Amino acid sequence: MTPDAIGDLTVFVLSLLVGFEVISRVPATLHTPLMSAANAVHGVVLVGAIAIGTTAHTPFGYALAFLACAFAAMNVVGGYAVTDRMLHMFRSPAGRR
């Protein structure tokens, strides 16, 4: 394995462990918003979609890049917006717990 590959693998494994730990104490109340928030975070795939878009130079390549950009943008924008809408409702006139 190349040093680069080892580095990537290290990042991947450590990130998995962080993911297991980071939401360990979430109350059931927040399960749905949390799922939605995590859903928005994987919208980071938009960065990859833009990256492949910059190298496209054939009609088929353009089509794939277009679809990937549209899908990813929908994921990321919609994901954050709907999570924010959900969490907005947790504010109550009577104050927070």
Partner 1 sequence: MSPAESAVAVVYLAAAACFVVGLHLMNAPATARRGNTLSGAGMAAAVAATLVLAAVSGEASPIAWAVIAAGTSLGAAAGLYAALNVRMTAMPQLVSLFNAVGGGAAALIGGYEYLRLAEEGRPGAAVTALVALDAVIGAVAFSGSLVAAGKLHGLVAGHPVVFRGRGALDALLVLAAAGGCAALVAGAGGAWPLAAAVAAALALGVVGVLAIGGADMPVVVSLLNACTGIAVAMAGFVVGNAMMVIAGALVGASGAILTKLMADAMNRPLRAILVGGYGTGDEDAGGGPARQGVATVTADDAAIRLAYASRVIMVPGYGLAAAQAQHELRELAERLEAGGVRVDYAVHPVAGRMPGHMNVLLAEAKVPYPQMKEMEEVNPEFARADVALVVGANDVTNPAARRPGNAVSGMPILDVDKAETVIVIKRSLGHGYAGIDNELYTDPRTRMFLGDAKQALAELTAAVKALAA
Instruction: Give, as ranges, the residues between 58 and 87 that touch partner 1 (CB under 8 A).
Output: 60-62, 64-87
How many residues make contact with partner 1 (CB under 8 A)? 84
Helix and strand totals (H; E) in the chain: 4, 0
Q: Is 6 in the site for partner 1 (CB under 8 A)?
A: no
**CA distance linking residue 54 with residue 22, whole number of Å:** 34
Quick check: 52 and 68 in contact, CB under 8 A? yes
Cβ within 8 Å of residue 12, ≥6 positions away:
none
**Binding-residue pattern over the window 10 to 29 for partner 1, x denoting contact by CB under 8 A:** -xxx-xxxxxx-xxxxxxxx
Which residue's CB is nearer to partner 1, number 3 or number 62?
62
Measured from the CB atom, is 3 or 22 closer to partner 1?
A: 22
Instruction: For residue 52, state whether it binds partner 1 (rule: CB under 8 A).
Output: yes
